[in-house]
Structure 1
């Protein structure tokens, strides 16, 4: 996965490394003073090493040890980070997950499986193979690993959905933005780092009709095999090039509003339950689509994706085309923006003259300190308005193309200016208001949730009132 939240990865690794979380276990309390207690459960015994319980979730002492270990693995100095602080963070996440369940927030198994398969692909890519991955995370076998990873990801998604529910209702007015900005003394105004605007032109190799026909024929043979009794699930695992769904047998859920490409949606909704499509062409390649279940306006489908291969000759022609476009730009025959509009094969950027959109801010400016390494390496040596040589790139599915890069504008680091930086100031003001909403929610939920902190950890000075002033 190219966009993985750092905090998510931190807790992912913690959980996988050994967070054998028990759900709704009976906890033997130190004292009978808690105002809200869970209903008695039978057949349960005290769990050794439990340092805290939040609703239906527990935190083990070993969880904190593993959190330290993961921080050290990421070269984060841990000498001055107290155990109490890490325990508080773990309890905070359990509070969100617990109330997500209470509020009937649903995270589907398909959604969890999709994320889990991406994570396993990531681990395998970096550790070598599944056996090395299992050994690294000290698990008995791949089944145990997948089970624990599944539960951890599900709880993380519950936490994210609960947080999203809290802040989705938070809005901010222009007057509130003005008041936020006015609350700073001039010398205390936020500093915004150096930024740049970047544009690119993408040239994709042309796929020959011969290569397309090879894929179509292969998918037709797979369809025939399935109709004669073969498993669609097994075929998807073996042959689908969609890594996100392939390991779960190509499974997807969709409705008419799902953000799938038009051709895929039209083909899926033209089929009856139990039917398999002929090969369907989209920008990603060719698909076989199988309708497993129709549930009202929602479809449960499986698909197999295969993409035609690019020949060396086609790749060479794409590079030559990119070089010719660069020569025209450098000679002044055409501007970079006009060349992007007329020649680029990337539909997301060609209409804006090739300008890249920052996925974090949805603006065209990129802060240098937060620029992705891939983009930074491509433009770091470019002067203003200079056009890079053709750069060979490879997408998530292995597709190759050439791109030309240009730095359109640079912006020096500066103190926040209300007119120039209104969008950024609004973002900061909204985040502050969201944090206040989350704090208010947490205080209220802590009061009416069963929470117990055991042993020496009761002496901690937590940011939240986990001890309820006891």
Structure 2
């Protein structure tokens, strides 16, 4: 069995979600889909195979063979098998877990439309609710598959000897070719706005609350008109269920201090000022809606932040403080500050990464023009959730394209070794698991010999 490609969905599923929404709807009445496989109550559509195969081809990295259509089909079958077995073995995911991921993904998609649902409907023929429903189905399956994999491979670790043995087992002419890589760090500061702007937003939200209490306004209507949260604004401010510890501490403390239906006074978090209404509490999860107002820094506020980062840059260049130490102490970007400000490869956690993995094209082209060892002047950029920010970038090192080796690519090889061990465990699990479920495959895919164990 070719477990090499069984992670296709986990690698490309997220992208496939957003890409599938970017396709024009087929003409009415044109039949383009059919069920090509069933695993108990779980079905696979021809469109799923096609979309995943296209994404796999598009995203195949240099030095790694792209999967065949049959391998993609088999990966989908394995995922459905895990979902079916999860139901049998009572491996479940909670609604809050699902909705948290759905809301995050939905918000990211809505940002592409500026939070305007009418544009979404006009361009792609999907309402926000339809979009959310489609995302929910995919997210639920991904979470179940992830939980099943974790259960099956629980406690699995690899030693340096395992990594060395795995690396030595790869024929020298089959070692992957890695493109040029770099180590890049950033220190980010969010400009502090003036007290006058803060006071204006607090007064506005306080007035909103009073108007709602007086029956002069509706919370959902105000959220749709004024909230600057691109995901929840169009939904009347509804955030859905979150578990304790998943939202900003100030937001959560305020929300859980309310009674269901009660509306808070304005509260500030790193995202801006919120007016919160608690809707429901279920166990350790809670559902709220909010109106978010993001304070806009003035030109002087931004310039002050630029001067601060410029001074910090000079301190680093003079050797009076290490870049990583400065990032940990002063950067407002938690995603990178814990790593000393450095971007990391999402698959291996290594600080060496291909610049093309950076999602921000402006960031990519800025680094591409830098010299190794340089730190940029303060650069303004737009954070989709938090508005204008300022950062300095540090180009620590560059690594030329090369064949994989243990000295330069240990973390990547360690991740690959772990995946190989997981594959071995999963293959043994599969032999017995497939006997516990009903499997039916369309004759068109008989040639793939999916789930044959060969």
How many angstroms does 1:188 deviate by? Answer: 5.8
Q: Is residue 253 of structure 1 aligned with residue 241 of structure 2?
A: yes
2:270 matched residue in structure 1: 283
Q: Is residue 6 of structure 1 aligned with residue 15 of structure 2?
A: no
Q: Distance in 2 between matches of 1:370 and 1:175?
A: 30
Mind listing any 5+ residue stretches in structure 2 that lack a counterpart? 1-9, 27-32
Query: Any residues of structure 2 matched to 1:11-50 within 5 Å, and which?
Result: 13-14=19-20, 49-50=34-35
Q: 1:57 aligns with which of 30, 39, 42?
A: 42
Q: Distance in 1 between matches of 2:411 and 2:142?
A: 30
Moved more, 258-267 or 409-418: 409-418
SS at match of 1:58: strand
| 1:461–1:283 CA distance, 2 compared to 1 (3 A) | closer
2:445 matched residue in structure 1: 457
1:447 matched residue in structure 2: 435
Q: Distance in 2 between matches of 1:217 and 1:398?
A: 20
Aligned length: 427
Q: Deviations over 1:9-35 (max 9, x none)?
A: 225655996999xxxxxxxxxxxxxxx
Q: Is residue 309 of structure 1 aligned with residue 299 of structure 2?
A: no
How many angstroms does 1:104 deviate by? Answer: 4.3
Contact 1:201–1:354 (CA<8 Å) still a contact in 2? Answer: yes
Q: Could you state the TM-score of these two structures normalised by the residue count of structure 1? A: 0.74
| 1:185–1:110 CA distance, 2 compared to 1 (3 A) | closer
How many angstroms does 1:432 deviate by? Answer: 0.9
Q: Is residue 133 of structure 1 aligned with residue 123 of structure 2?
A: yes
Q: Distance in 1 between matches of 2:349 and 2:50?
A: 38
Q: Distance in 2 between matches of 1:144 and 1:246?
A: 17
Q: Could you state the TM-score of these two structures normalised by the residue count of structure 2? A: 0.76
| 1:413–1:130 CA distance, 2 compared to 1 (3 A) | closer
1:28 matched residue in structure 2: none
Q: Distance in 2 between matches of 1:369 and 1:120?
A: 21
Q: Distance in 1 between matches of 2:284 and 2:128?
A: 36
Q: Deviations over 1:343-384 (max 9, x none)?
A: 944264568764444444334332345444543222111112
2:4 matched residue in structure 1: none
Q: Which has the larger radius of gyration?
A: 1
Q: 1:114 aligns with which of 80, 100, 103?
A: 103
Q: Is residue 337 of structure 1 aligned with residue 323 of structure 2?
A: yes
Q: Distance in 1 between matches of 2:295 and 2:329?
A: 22
For the aligned residue pairs, the C-alpha RMSD in angstroms reads 4.2
How many angstroms does 1:114 deviate by? Answer: 0.8
| 1:63–1:16 CA distance, 2 compared to 1 (3 A) | farther
Q: Distance in 2 between matches of 1:185 and 1:106?
A: 41
SS at match of 1:446: helix
Q: Distance in 2 between matches of 1:285 and 1:162?
A: 38
Contact 2:102–2:135 (CA<8 Å) still a contact in 1? Answer: no
How many angstroms does 1:317 deviate by? Answer: 3.3
Contact 2:115–2:233 (CA<8 Å) still a contact in 1? Answer: no
Q: Is residue 195 of structure 1 aligned with residue 195 of structure 2?
A: no
SS at match of 2:448: coil
Q: Distance in 1 between matches of 2:203 and 2:301?
A: 21
How many angstroms does 1:210 deviate by? Answer: 0.6
Q: 2:382 aligns with which of 380, 394, 400?
A: 394
Mind listing any 5+ residue stretches in structure 1 that lack a counterpart? 21-47
| 1:16–1:68 CA distance, 2 compared to 1 (3 A) | same
1:171 matched residue in structure 2: 157
Contact 1:12–1:152 (CA<8 Å) still a contact in 2? Answer: no
| 1:142–1:268 CA distance, 2 compared to 1 (3 A) | closer
| 1:234–1:443 CA distance, 2 compared to 1 (3 A) | farther
